[in-house]
A and B are shown apart, each in its own frame.
Chain A
């Protein structure tokens, strides 16, 4: 369809363009906007985290647009809710790709959603940025367009084992919920424990969620009376398993992952939760970018971890937009290559925010963006190289940090 341009409309357009340039002097007149999609788990299993990620995406885009956009073009952000549901997510991704013509979809959280939309993104040549832990993610990314801001689950297992060993445990037993995220975690945990001279005394095994009882599994786990047991799981099955462990009279240390031990878990099991240890990747507390994030999000610095995933949202949008500026184009293959250039590698100028980075790139400098969720260094598959981990103990119904493992890039 041809657009009829009347004199009046041309005048209106020019006036609007002048008005816009008055605020944002560098936006190029008439240039198409750069479309970016945000697909976050605002409800469902990721509901506690999605809104923070979405807000972080929006803040970065607003900041960049207010400062003149990227490549002189406005960034147009379209936000959708995945409901932490792969089916909803695929429909939303379809819309973002075909209607909004986005160059990237940022913010997917659960592995099933990230993997679910991957075929469509790969086919359309759209960049994905996520915080998902399944080891399938790099394997299924054939075009090198996926960047993961969360450590893969074997890294979780390795780090949590390291933290547990620092507490002095010598014998462990392991079982895990039967899924991809937790399965590869116990393998890495066992490998680390053995490498450091401690023992895994049971044959690590899996159980299914939704069972009518977990008694036999718990019997198997605590047979031989290990000093500590490690059970990576999700909150629903972990709550039932933990109740059973408590009722079995096991006096050793229970260790799990923090996503299974939130407030709802503590409410459901009450005082019995005290003494439980749980581990999770955390933002680098005390880093410059993390302090900036707290300020941008209007949060007080409490010295504790806040918005573990919102910080990743800031880093996703910042590194994508820096890469577009660096690539000088919205061609996604070029942008993907530029994502490594602006985030990874030594000997470059370290920047902590998108505006700092844009300025440096325009001044012709090589940059390395260091983020609020991690230092944001990617391996050659686009997976974040390292994150800080923290081990927390439940004391009097509250989480108290007992060990922290810092990633040294």
Chain B
């Protein structure tokens, strides 16, 4: 049972940060951005290029990869989403699906569909009380906690964070009160882009670097964000943990082939029972 919990924690740490980013983007821009799969894949390959092709240490490569992904994600807003700001969320959702396909195929064009790994030897686990965990898994969990704390601190204590919360609460009112919403949106894209870049590294470490890496993580990320209450960064972290546990426990009672359905079942149940998620607030429709 202890091992199940550790496994669930690692799963949660992997999908937590991108779920937070997905949730923040939704909070401010009000549409579900399916391009996150493409962003994560680009992040993984950017880090791979710095780490393996150019031979930089993984930590430096990750930071550079996060910068590249942040810039790309911001650029995707400037080029694709900004001109479409007035369109309905459904239109933007479809555009984001197109964007993820373009990003993924772009990666295929340069790197092909082969599997790759970072320049970091695999390690055997540390054992204690019949449970196992590896150094990289400790890193994944630690980084997820750091991201959660950092996001919390930014939203709570910084000027830009307060502006983000205001914009998320009421876009028009924030604009009227003199908040530079353009800057808030640009910062959100950059910050979330960096988180997708980080997920590229962590996903590449845990699974394998290939063009579908981001896509494979997309449904659990959605489930975590919706479970936590879409638009709520804290909720997304808890949502990730619950999705992680649910996926681990499912396999104890159902054949493994049904595991990919767990995310969908969580999404369906929540939309039926508590559409605002665990921490989200019900929106008043005018």
Q: A residues bordering B, Cβ < 8 Å? A: 44-45, 175, 178, 205-208, 210-217, 219-220, 235-236, 239-240, 243, 246-249, 264-265, 267-272
What residue in chain B is nearest A249 (Cβ atoms)?
A: B125
Write out the residue numbers on chain A whose beta carbons fall within 8 Å of the beta carbon of B207: 212-214, 240, 243
Pairwise interchain contact B122-A206, C-beta atoms closer than 8 A: no
Pairwise interchain contact B220-A206, C-beta atoms closer than 8 A: no
Pairwise interchain contact A212-B117, C-beta atoms closer than 8 A: no
A212 and B15 contact, Cβ closer than 8 Å, known pairs A205-B255, A217-B251, A239-B208: yes
Report the minimum CB–CB distance from B254 to chain A (whole Å): 11
Report the minimum CB–CB distance from B136 to chain A (whole Å): 8
Please report the C-alpha to C-alpha distance between residue A235 and residue B259 in the assembled complex, in whole angstroms.
21
The answer to whether the Cβ of B206 comes within 8 Å of any Cβ in the partner chain is yes
Pairwise interchain contact A217-B3, C-beta atoms closer than 8 A: no
Please report the C-alpha to C-alpha distance between residue A185 and residue B137 in the assembled complex, in whole angstroms.
33
Report the minimum CB–CB distance from A48 to chain B (whole Å): 10
Pairwise interchain contact A216-B208, C-beta atoms closer than 8 A: no
Please report the C-alpha to C-alpha distance between residue A205 and residue B210 in the assembled complex, in whole angstroms.
25
Write out the residue numbers on chain A whose beta carbons fall within 8 Å of the beta carbon of B206: 213, 243
Please report the C-alpha to C-alpha distance between residue A270 and residue B119 in the assembled complex, in whole angstroms.
8
Pairwise interchain contact B114-A264, C-beta atoms closer than 8 A: yes
Which stretch (B6-14, B61-69, B163-171, B264-272) binds chain A?
B6-14
What residue in chain A is nearest B220 (Cβ atoms)?
A: A212
Report the minimum CB–CB distance from B276 to chain A (whole Å): 25
Report the minimum CB–CB distance from A69 to chain B (whole Å): 40
Q: Which residues B1-32 have CB closer than 8 A to chain A?
A: 3-4, 7, 10-11, 14-15
Write out the residue numbers on chain B whose beta carbons fall within 8 Å of the beta carbon of A205: 255-256
The answer to whether the Cβ of B178 comes within 8 Å of any Cβ in the partner chain is no
The total of chain B residues at the interface (CB under 8 A) is: 42
Please report the C-alpha to C-alpha distance between residue A215 and residue B124 in the assembled complex, in whole angstroms.
14
Write out the residue numbers on chain B whose beta carbons fall within 8 Å of the beta carbon of A243: 117, 122, 206-208
A269 and B248 contact, Cβ closer than 8 Å, known pairs A208-B259, A264-B114: no
Pairwise interchain contact A210-B260, C-beta atoms closer than 8 A: yes
A206 and B11 contact, Cβ closer than 8 Å, known pairs A216-B247, A247-B122, A267-B116: no
Report the minimum CB–CB distance from B36 to chain A (whole Å): 13
Write out the residue numbers on chain B whose beta carbons fall within 8 Å of the beta carbon of A246: 122, 124
Q: Which residues B205-220 have CB closer than 8 A to chain A?
A: 206-210, 212, 215-217, 219-220
Pairwise interchain contact A211-B260, C-beta atoms closer than 8 A: yes
Please report the C-alpha to C-alpha distance between residue A272 and residue B134 in the assembled complex, in whole angstroms.
14
Pairwise interchain contact B137-A235, C-beta atoms closer than 8 A: no
Pairwise interchain contact A264-B260, C-beta atoms closer than 8 A: no
Pairwise interchain contact B3-A219, C-beta atoms closer than 8 A: yes
A-B contact pairs, 16 of them (CB 8 A): A178-B257, A210-B260, A211-B259, A216-B247, A236-B212, A239-B115, A246-B124, A247-B125, A247-B134, A247-B137, A249-B125, A249-B132, A264-B114, A270-B121, A272-B121, A272-B122
Report the minimum CB–CB distance from A240 to chain B (whole Å): 5
Pairwise interchain contact A269-B260, C-beta atoms closer than 8 A: no
Please report the C-alpha to C-alpha distance between residue A217 and residue B250 in the assembled complex, in whole angstroms.
11
Write out the residue numbers on chain B whose beta carbons fall within 8 Å of the beta carbon of A220: 251, 256
Interface string of B60-93 (1 = CB under 8 A from A): 0000000000000000000000000000000000
Write out the residue numbers on chain B whose beta carbons fall within 8 Å of the beta carbon of A264: 114-116
Please report the C-alpha to C-alpha distance between residue A44 and residue B219 in the assembled complex, in whole angstroms.
26
The answer to whether the Cβ of B123 comes within 8 Å of any Cβ in the partner chain is yes
What residue in chain B is nearest A44 (Cβ atoms)?
A: B113
Please report the C-alpha to C-alpha distance between residue A267 and residue B114 in the assembled complex, in whole angstroms.
11
Please report the C-alpha to C-alpha distance between residue A272 and residue B123 in the assembled complex, in whole angstroms.
8
Write out the residue numbers on chain A whose beta carbons fall within 8 Å of the beta carbon of B260: 208, 210-211
Pairwise interchain contact B259-A240, C-beta atoms closer than 8 A: no
Please report the C-alpha to C-alpha distance between residue A240 and residue B115 in the assembled complex, in whole angstroms.
9
Pairwise interchain contact B10-A215, C-beta atoms closer than 8 A: yes
Q: Which residues B189-248 have CB closer than 8 A to chain A?
A: 206-210, 212, 215-217, 219-220, 247-248
Please report the C-alpha to C-alpha distance between residue A271 and residue B255 in the assembled complex, in whole angstroms.
32
Pairwise interchain contact B11-A212, C-beta atoms closer than 8 A: yes
Pairwise interchain contact A271-B132, C-beta atoms closer than 8 A: no
The answer to whether the Cβ of B127 comes within 8 Å of any Cβ in the partner chain is yes
Pairwise interchain contact B127-A249, C-beta atoms closer than 8 A: yes
Please report the C-alpha to C-alpha distance between residue A175 and residue B257 in the assembled complex, in whole angstroms.
11
Please report the C-alpha to C-alpha distance between residue A210 and residue B210 in the assembled complex, in whole angstroms.
10
Please report the C-alpha to C-alpha distance between residue A216 and residue B122 in the assembled complex, in whole angstroms.
19
Of residues B14, B115, B215, B257, which shows the largest number of chain A Cβ atoms within 10 Å of its Cβ? B115
Pairwise interchain contact B257-A216, C-beta atoms closer than 8 A: no
Report the minimum CB–CB distance from A295 to chain B (whole Å): 32
Pairwise interchain contact B115-A213, C-beta atoms closer than 8 A: no
A236 and B208 contact, Cβ closer than 8 Å, known pairs A215-B10, A216-B247, A272-B121: yes
Pairwise interchain contact B117-A270, C-beta atoms closer than 8 A: yes
B115: contacting residue among A206, A210, A265, CB under 8 A = A265
Pairwise interchain contact B220-A240, C-beta atoms closer than 8 A: no
Please report the C-alpha to C-alpha distance between residue A371 and residue B140 in the assembled complex, in whole angstroms.
53
Please report the C-alpha to C-alpha distance between residue A267 and residue B48 in the assembled complex, in whole angstroms.
13
What residue in chain A is nearest B122 (Cβ atoms)?
A: A272
Write out the residue numbers on chain B whose beta carbons fall within 8 Å of the beta carbon of A249: 124-125, 127, 132
Write out the residue numbers on chain B whose beta carbons fall within 8 Å of the beta carbon of A267: 116-117
Please report the C-alpha to C-alpha distance between residue A221 and residue B121 in the assembled complex, in whole angstroms.
23
Please report the C-alpha to C-alpha distance between residue A248 and residue B131 in the assembled complex, in whole angstroms.
10
Write out the residue numbers on chain B whose beta carbons fall within 8 Å of the beta carbon of A175: 256
Write out the residue numbers on chain B whose beta carbons fall within 8 Å of the beta carbon of A247: 122-125, 132, 134, 136-137
Pairwise interchain contact B11-A213, C-beta atoms closer than 8 A: yes
What residue in chain B is nearest A207 (Cβ atoms)?
A: B256
A207: contacting residue among B117, B123, B219, B257, CB under 8 A = B257
Pairwise interchain contact B14-A212, C-beta atoms closer than 8 A: yes
Write out the residue numbers on chain A whose beta carbons fall within 8 Å of the beta carbon of B212: 210, 236
Write out the residue numbers on chain A whose beta carbons fall within 8 Å of the beta carbon of B255: 205-206
Write out the residue numbers on chain B whose beta carbons fall within 8 Å of the beta carbon of A211: 216, 259-260
A213 and B117 contact, Cβ closer than 8 Å, known pairs A247-B123, A247-B124, A249-B132: no
